[in-house]
Structure 1
Amino acid sequence: MSTAGQEEPDLRSIYHASGPWTGQTLYVAAHLGLADLLDDDPRGIGDIAKATASDEDALYRFCRALTALGMLAEHPGRSFTLRQAGRALRRDAADGFRDGVLLQSGAVFRAWADVLHTVRTGRPAFDHALGMDYFEFLAANPEEARVFNRAMGATMPAAIAALEHYAFGTCATVVDVGGGDGRLLASVLSRHPGMHGVLQDLPGTVSQAGENLSGVADRCTLVGESFFDAVATGGDVYILSRVLHDWDDDNAGRILRRVREAMPAHGRLILVESVLRPADGDLRSVLGDLLMLVVLGGRERTESEWAELLESAGFTMRQVWDDPGLATTRGHSVIEAVARAEADRPDTAHSSPPKAA
């Protein structure tokens, strides 16, 4: 049913604007580093082809398509310059998406070609198409793992923004479970000089966190261990940022139960995750949910689904905060939960919603 005053979507327009060739054309630009080779001065296609070891005619046709997509501008003599939108594909772009394109249009794209396997079995097409699960694939392909880590790092500012005004109160120790390269934990510790932090992730991941933690290293402990095996004890607040959406309910529940085992009675759990609201036309999140399903077997969740998942693992959801109008959070909601045995006690400490900036 259409909303009054809105035009019905046109299937051809939707598909042509977002069909596989669009993403793969951007993949060509990202993989070849075209944005790094171009600027405001026109550069001939022959020169660009030599610099990228490409066939000149084929590359010209891709550049022509990139021009139609608004990434490049074409000039006489089959030469091109970089437009503002295309600068997001530069390696050093502050808010770039080059690694996101490389991630989603590389090996992940092969899973989408086998997407009916997921629809019919409920299992990740990635495993079926590549013969291993996604994390096994990353372990076997170091360059893909580096792209993955950089792409995940590019989403970190949104998670940091989502937690910027969270009231940690009297928290003495915060544990970032699955905390990756430590940037989120470093941002929390930098705003709370008296707080100690614990960064837990796989050994190879936490070993790369040194530079990000340089300003707070004296207040930070590194734990290289899978959260499926155990979670560091002693925290007052536990953070899981963009971790649980990677997993189905069974595995997400296992992670949460490990946190519950480690967390003291007065502890709090903070999730930074998307909260699905499909009735609001939340296209980005529902398509993100499909990405989780097809590649990882994970899922994005509605507020009620988060509540049910937390309840099954021994938690009670306290509050959910987000600001859909705040671009810097990009759909990153903050979900606070406490151990279920503590949930109804009036003296259980919990925070207030973040104040407006």
Structure 2
Amino acid sequence: MSASPAVQPPSVLPDIPPEETQRVMRTLLMGMPWVGQAVYAVAKVGVPDALAGGPLPVAELADRVGADADALFRFCRALESLGLLEITAGKEIGLAPGGHLLRSDAPGALRHFVIVNGEESFRAWAEVLHSLRTGRPAFEKVYGTGHFAYMAEHPEAAESFNAMAGSGTAPAVLERCDVADASVVADIGGATGVVLASVLARLPEARGILQDLPQAVADAPAVLRKEGVEERCEIVGASFFDQVATGADVYILCRVLHDWNDEDALRILSRVREAMRPDSRLVVVDNMIPATAGFHPGKLADLQMLVILGGKERTLGECKELLERAGFRTVAEHLPEGPGPRGESAVEAVPA
């Protein structure tokens, strides 16, 4: 009588994915860090700006941006495969539609976003395990200080960071918020004033207050002047942890609270609450994460907030709970009307 075969335990591994699934997975992982750093390098040396006037032979382009011609061609070939550049049979390099967004003068330009994430942020991500294990920003481990303290001590890094903020656009969801009757609008943590300028453009009789750290508002006059609202704005260079400007009908915290953990976010909200009148209104805008499964950019942005700043992207419920703890009552909610690169939401609140 032959022995019974040994019983095999069930496999804990799934079947080998089909070839297409493997291809997609490999492509996704190649972005870690190949794609991001390739785009960063080409943007940093100024290739998109050099091509703004039209295609150039690779040798001439290399001379203009100070790069090795062969290496530059190989970088450009990689970006051509991503749909950012175009290459002719004669090795002339030109911009594809997506590549124009890497020009420094393009509306909604992404050049500064790419540079910020390709330099200090990229190096911090090399210590991502520190964040996973401790819940603290890896940036602090790499640089020995917090992100905003580092910016204050390194003007070149701050310039790129502030340029990223200044090249952004105001969130579309703000247009659905109740600010039409405001005589004074205060944008707290508003950097260069892009968001405030967009609001004041819709309120020709209103005045604005822009508050942020002195280095953050340094370029604000030029932005506000370009948008034609400089004469209606007061600029306050001060930390919102110390105090918040008084006298506004509407206070805006746009893309601010996600930079901070709950404790610091409550401190900011408390300062805003102290500055508000009983009839003032607060508008909070952030890339809030839906409480559903599936892809959402906020779920990845949340990791960036943790690794770099120690902050977090919140769900709508978490944002409302934070407001309640700070002494506010939610009066309106505005969710994104459709899919988009940011998918930002807004919450309107009044003092409780």
Taking structure 2 as the reference length, the TM-score comes to 0.87
Query: Does the 8 Å contact 1:40/1:82 carry over to 2?
Result: no
**2:127 alignment partner in structure 1:** 114
Please state if 1:246 is matched with 2:259. Answer: yes
Distance 1:41 1:259, change over 3 A: closer
Q: Report the counterpart of residue 118 of structure 2 in structure 1.
A: 105
- Tell me, yes or no, if the aligned pair for 1:278 and 1:286 is still in contact at 8 Å: no
Give the total of aligned pairs: 330
More displaced 10-residue stretch of structure 1: 206-215 or 116-125: 206-215
Q: Which runs of 5+ in 1 are unaligned?
A: 1-6, 341-357
Please state whether the residue corresponding to 1:36 is helix, strand or coil.
Answer: helix
Q: Structure 2: state its 5+ residue gaps.
A: 1-19
**Is 2:297–2:342's contact at 8 Å kept on the other side of the alignment?**
no
Structure 1 residue aligned with 2:17: none
After the TM superposition, which segments of 4 or more aligned residues of structure 1 sit over 4 Å from their partners?
A: 7-10, 39-42
Aligned partner of residue 139 in structure 1, secondary structure: helix
Whichever residue aligns with residue 200 of structure 2, its letter is L
Does residue 334 in structure 1 map to residue 346 in structure 2?
A: yes
Residues in 1 aligned to 2:77 and 2:252: alpha-carbon distance in whole angstroms:
46
How much does 1:171 deviate? 2.6
- Determine helix, strand or coil for the equivalent of 2:35: helix
**1:86 Cα deviation (Å)?**
1.3
For the aligned residue pairs, the C-alpha RMSD in angstroms reads: 2.2
Matched, 1:190 2:204: no
**1:205-260 CA-partner distances (Å, limit 9, x unpaired):** 33432233333344332222110001112222111111110000000100000011
Identity in percent: 45
The 5 Å alignment of 1:67-146 reads 67-146=80-159
Alignment of 1:203-352 (within 5 A): 203-214=214-225, 215-277=228-290, 279-325=292-338, 327=340, 330-340=342-352
The 1-side partners of 2:83 and 2:233 are apart by 45
Superposition deviation, residue 313 in structure 1: 1.0
Counterparts in 2 of 1:247 and 1:222: CA distance versus 1, 3 Å: same
Q: Higher Cα Rg: structure 1 or 2? A: 2
Counterpart code for 1:226: S
Match of 1:58? Answer: 71
TM-score normalized by structure 1? 0.86
1:317 alignment partner, SS class: strand
Match of 2:11 in 1: none
Q: Is the 8 A contact 2:184 2:208 kept in 1?
A: yes
Structure 1: distance between partners of 2:155 and 2:351: 38
Change (3 A) 1:229 1:83: same
For 1:149 and 1:169, the matched residues in 2 are separated by: 29
Query: Kindly tell me: are residues 309 and 21 of structure 1, through their superposed partners in 2, closer, same or farther at Cα, counting changes over 3 Å?
Result: same
